[in-house]
Amino acid sequence: MSFAVEDQSGFGSARGKMVIKRLGTTLVATISLWLILNTHIQAQELSLSSTNVLKCWQCVVFKGLPTRCPEDAVLYELTGWNACMTWRLANGTTILQNFVQQETDCTEASKARWRSRIFDIWQMDGNVDCCTEDECNNEGRLSSQLPVSNDDANDLANIIPNRFANQINKIILQSTANQRNLTHFMEESQIQGIIQLSCAQCSRIPNSVCGPQFLTPSQRPNSQSSTPVIDNQVRMDFKSMVNTMGASSSNQEACRCLDGFIPIRRNNQLEQCHDPIVLTAVIGSRCLISQHCSIMNHTYCRDDEELQIATGISSYKTCQCIDGFQINDKGQCEPSEEVQPLLNNSCATDDDCFGIVNAACRLVSMSSQIQELVRVTQDRLQTFIGSCQCMEGYIPITNRFTGRLERCRDPIVRTSTVHGICITQSHCQSLLNTE
């Protein structure tokens, strides 16, 4: 009986079940409303946080380059970031300062990953710190530089002169520590960074050029020249700036060897670009520079597209006949029929002596101008007032029948001792620290 009474008045009764149903409906509605309101609040907070303005110092150190942090750091005021980051080596050296996202880049797992990367790059333990207040990633530094706002903050940090350094180091950074955002940024943008390098060293190293070697293929110049340099500022794609931050100094130095030449370094500094070929004696053989073809008349070194495809080497070059010449049965370059009437020593500029290695155009007396008049095309006459002659020190080799200069023989090729005779810088390239 008591069980029946309890069943009638308890939640097991029909009335009780109705109460539970009503309470459940109310509870579900309450929870749903709370979720909706909370989601809206979170969305508002996220929207507000995405527009927060934060001031962080930015700087990155590349091994082998003169940038110093925090001395060369620049203060920026950007939107869309909520934390500042600093990387420091165990010896106290600061190697990176930048904007990051706290929720993705400042977790313990992320910090452990960054510490591992620091050790891989610098062979030294390091520490990664995050902070969320303005200018917090440059402790002890006075803020005597006005912050800069930038409408394109999420894509590119604005560049301003560094007033704390003797020279202006311009560095473009974009979420250096956030690899996911960085990869996406590079996929969507072709923006390049500019970093100032010293190219003076290159003039003392034959067969070297100024500029880092990690430009992407699409950014390499079409010509045979080196990395484009404007006022000693070497263009460098942004991803390379970050990913090669701690690469060996040989990849970061201002000078590098031309493709094919072997770099020789001392104390991680480039000292010589060794020539593995010296000379080429057969047309169609590989070369790196035109001098490799100098013992063969009317040849030069240029890209061989067929062999580039066959070998997969993007800069494969061979000795080939110059324009207007063709290979004969003896494997030599001879003039084609249409240029034979123009063969003489006449010239107007050094370019007219291009087929004669180590020769240059030298002016002759004005009285011979009429004799030096030749027809260049069917509808144009050009007056040549010069003669192709060997440069000083080279031995002229002429055709015994026509007397025409055919080549200028190099009597030295290589100099093996200091104070030995040389004509050009290439003669000394087997000797370190000579010119």
For residues 2 and 16, give the distance between their C-alpha atoms in angstroms, rounded to a whole number.
17
Mean pLDDT of the chain: 61
Q: What is the mean pLDDT of residues 294-304?
A: 83
Q: What are the domain boundaries of the chain?
A: 53-262, 275-341, 344-435
Q: How high is the pLDDT of residue 116?
A: 82
> Which residue(s) pair with 396 in the sheet?
408
Lowest-confidence region among 120-129, 247-256, 383-392: 247-256
What residues contact 48, with CB distance under 8 A and at least 6 apart? none
> Which residue(s) pair with 380 in the sheet?
377
Order of strands, sheet of 317-321, starting from the edge strand that comes earlier in the sequence:
286-287, 317-321, 299-303
pLDDT band for 14, please (50, 70, 90 cuts): low
Nearest one of 128, 132, 108, 110 to 56, comparing CA atoms? 132
Nearest one of 154, 119, 122, 137 to 59, comparing CA atoms? 137
pLDDT tens-digit readout, 277-286: 877 778 888 8
Q: What is the mean pLDDT of residues 228-236?
A: 35
Q: How high is the pLDDT of residue 153?
A: 32
Lowest-confidence region among 2-6, 244-248, 348-352, 394-398: 2-6
More reliable by pLDDT, 246 or 280: 280
Lowest-confidence region among 61-70, 82-91, 269-278, 327-336: 61-70
Token pair for residue 432? 């370190």
Lowest-confidence region among 11-15, 146-150, 267-271, 331-335: 146-150
Q: How high is the pLDDT of residue 134?
A: 87
For residues 72 and 136, give the distance between their C-alpha atoms in angstroms, rounded to a whole number.
16
CA dihedral 159, 162, 166, 170 (to 10 degrees): -20
Pairing of strands 83-89, 126-131: antiparallel
For residues 215 and 38, give the distance between their C-alpha atoms in angstroms, rounded to a whole number.
48
pLDDT band for 175, please (50, 70, 90 cuts): very low
pLDDT tens-digit readout, 149-170: 333 333 323 222 222 222 222 2
pLDDT tens-digit readout, 320-374: 888 777 888 888 888 765 444 344 567 777 777 777 778 888 765 444 433 444 3
With 60 as the cut, is the pLDDT of residue 188 above it? Answer: no
